[in-house]
Structure 1
Amino acid sequence: MVLAHRAAWTAVHGQVPLGMTLDHTCKQRRCVNPAHLRLLPNFENARRTSGKDWPIGSCINGHSAAALQPIKRRAKDGSPRWGRTCSECVKLARHRYNERKRAERKEAA
């Protein structure tokens, strides 16, 4: 399944390059007019749509750019998507998860 705005872009401009996404300049998600679409890097689109405008080169929690790692994930349609993740945030999330699981095991014993 291809979304209508992606099909309209592809018909006029060709495939969307890896690591890029389509941004609706008109802010109407249902719009399929290719003139209202533009290519943005995935991380820029995520930064713009999150409602939190954090500086490029750092994560949303303020960790340094050195902690940002490129990652490849699969979209719902199975196509590859590139983005960035903060290794410090991942490490902290794993730590919280492990602490929670330890506490659950302690309660069960």
Structure 2
Amino acid sequence: MPAPAAQPDEADRFWAKVDKTGSCWIWTAAKARGNYGSFHSSGRKGRTHRAHRYAYELLVGPIPAGLYLDHLCHNEDPACPGGDNCPHRRCVNPAHLEAVTPRENSLRGVASAALNARKTHCDKGHEFTPENTHHIKPSKSQPNGARRCRACRRETQARWKARQAIT
């Protein structure tokens, strides 16, 4: 009777599912919610891992507590559609990953909060300077808070006072 075939070790099993032909190392197997690669380990208590996190821990080391991995290849690609259609979410190249705070990861993205945070002027063209910016504390309706242009607020108040004077 022939000997049973040797089982590939977990790392070999992982790398067999990665296409390293380009700069991005693309995960070719199962995907989890959000189009991220998904890898089920046999060791480590048989957990399912995000493939990019698994690759990072395998080649770089543990991800510091409280930090997320940001895909730098995504940040450098202005043509990327983002969201669940982002092909960079399947990249497992550790050179393309950086451990950052959740806030930094969000602000590097293309969601409305990140786009608003990058704005240097309000919609009417007033610059967001420390003197011209009113910060609104977080609330239920705006859990991350907000900022408002003081010049626009002064203009709005002046229009309101002018209307009140007429009546």
Tell me the TM-score normalized by structure 2. 0.34
Tell me the TM-score normalized by structure 1. 0.49
**Which protein, 1 or 2, shows the higher relative CO under an 8 Å CA cutoff with sep ≥ 6?**
1
Is the radius of gyration larger for structure 1 or structure 2?
2
